[in-house]
Amino acid sequence: MDTEQPLDLPTIIARARAGDADAQIVLAHNYRRGWGVDRDVRQALAWYRQAAAAGDPRARHALAELYLTGEGVPRDAQVALRWFEEAARAGYAPAQTRLGWLYQRGDGVGRDPALALHWYRQAAEAGDATARHNLGVIYATGAGVPPDATTAVHWYRLAAAQGHPQAQLNLGLALANGAGVERDPVQAVHWYRAAAAQGYAKARYNLALMLAAGAGVAPDEGAAAELMRAAAGQGLDKAQYNLGKMYEKGIGVGADPVAAQHWFEAAANQGYARAEYALYSCLRDGRGCDRDTDAARRWLERAAAHGYAQAQYRLGSDLLRADGSGHERAAALLEIAARSGHARAASKLGVVFARGLGRPRDRVRAYAWFWLARLRGDADAPAALARLSERLSARDRERAVALSANLCPPLETGE
């Protein structure tokens, strides 16, 4: 329907009735969205079907979306799949991208990484930005293909140049971390800015971190706080937590324990473990709120359950100080934290095995945990090792050091 001026509704209807597929799709869109007419999904379906019957891939794609979501029709993933496939085989890139997504996620179809890759590639080669970004994610994560960070960056670049905000963010992350490309924090900031300008919360968050640290850009704590506040206002949990830390420490804003507690609670209510632990600390100490030890303990339990090692260490340590009934759970929590690399937890676990608190006494295993704690910089571990050495033979100490290599992941070393 080639025209430089928008057509009035009667003209659109007349052309649609005359079989003009463009007009049929415009009319269907209007009824679907309530643009200039009362919203009527049944009328939208009728006009989409007419255009689809004439072979228009846009209409077939629109019908597929309606059946996939159950908008105006009973939800039917198989019918949706059929319409998507017809549109995709006709070369319609948005349908090809949607098919790739469905096969990648297994949404209404059997999960099939090979088919996901096939349809994404078809759409990406036709210039679809979302398909290009999703291909980047596939290569970055190795979902159905060998991981290839360089190829991931290639696809991110193409999509980012088209203005795709997620691709801009992921390209920024790759540049910031040197993943598949030479590390370039200045360019990382450029792409974060591009995505942040589109209101993308994760980009605002990452740009705020760069500004706060002065990485790839002159440090600007005030601008960092504004961006963090914007991302937090969009509901991004880690931005809410970090904004809380900025208020707690007075970074880019005036120190304000009440505001800090507010943002910690916002993130904690989304299950963000670091925020749950921060809220525990606020309630325990009465910072920014009334002191409430019972509520503090509940948040500590939640943070530990969500896998935050510091919370597991703190809760385990608290339980060790209580009567013996909590020692077994304390030992379990400390071991989880220690195995994740928490130095203080490893040291405390050495105490557990040395004294037989919730675990059978085992000085060899105790030495192994103290050894790991020392490697991770725990200040108490060297003295504990010295004391324990007096009770172990040289062979037992060798056994303990060998055992330590299997207890948790090795330390990362620099190049």
Cβ-based neighbour number of residue 118 at 10 Å: 16
pLDDT band at 7 (very low <50, low <70, confident <90, very high): low
| For residue 413, pLDDT beyond 50 | no
Q: Which residue has 């019972």 as its token pair?
A: 294
Q: What's residue 412's pLDDT?
A: 44
Are 388 and 354 a contacting pair, CB within 8 Å?
Answer: yes
Stretch 35-57: mean pLDDT:
93
Q: Which of 90, 84, 160 is closest to 115 using CA atoms?
A: 84
| For residue 382, pLDDT beyond 90 | yes
Are 302 and 274 a contacting pair, CB within 8 Å?
Answer: no
| For residue 408, pLDDT beyond 90 | no
pLDDT digits (tens, 9 = 90+) for 161-187: 999 999 999 999 999 999 999 999 999
pLDDT band at 2 (very low <50, low <70, confident <90, very high): very low
Q: Which one is predicted more confidently, 340 or 415?
A: 340
pLDDT digits (tens, 9 = 90+) for 291-348: 999 999 999 999 999 999 999 999 999 999 988 789 999 999 999 999 999 999 999 9
| For residue 379, pLDDT beyond 60 | yes
Q: What's residue 107's pLDDT?
A: 78
First to last CA, the chain: 61
Q: What's residue 144's pLDDT?
A: 87
Q: How many residues does the chain have?
A: 415
Pull the structure tokens for residue 39.
Answer: 């919203």
Q: What's residue 8's pLDDT?
A: 82
| For residue 391, pLDDT beyond 80 | yes
pLDDT cut 90: percent of the chain above it? 90
pLDDT band at 409 (very low <50, low <70, confident <90, very high): low
Count of CA atoms in the C-beta half-sphere (13 A) of 319: 26
Stretch 260-282: mean pLDDT:
98
Stretch 141-168: mean pLDDT:
97
Stretch 58-76: mean pLDDT:
94
Are 264 and 296 a contacting pair, CB within 8 Å?
Answer: no
Task: Say how far apart CA 381 and CA 378 lie, in whole Å.
Answer: 6
Helix H segments across 308-404? 309-321, 327-339, 343-355, 363-375, 381-389, 394-404
| For residue 415, pLDDT beyond 90 | no
Task: Say how far apart CA 73 and CA 61 lie, in whole Å.
Answer: 15
| Predicted TM-score of the model (pTM) | 0.88
* Crossing angle of helices 201-213 and 221-233, rounded to 10°: 160
Weakest-pLDDT range from 14-23, 267-276, 290-299, 346-355: 14-23
Stretch 200-205: mean pLDDT:
98
pLDDT digits (tens, 9 = 90+) for 85-115: 999 999 999 999 999 999 998 877 888 999 9
Q: What's residue 384's pLDDT?
A: 97
Stretch 240-265: mean pLDDT:
98
Stretch 231-249: mean pLDDT:
98
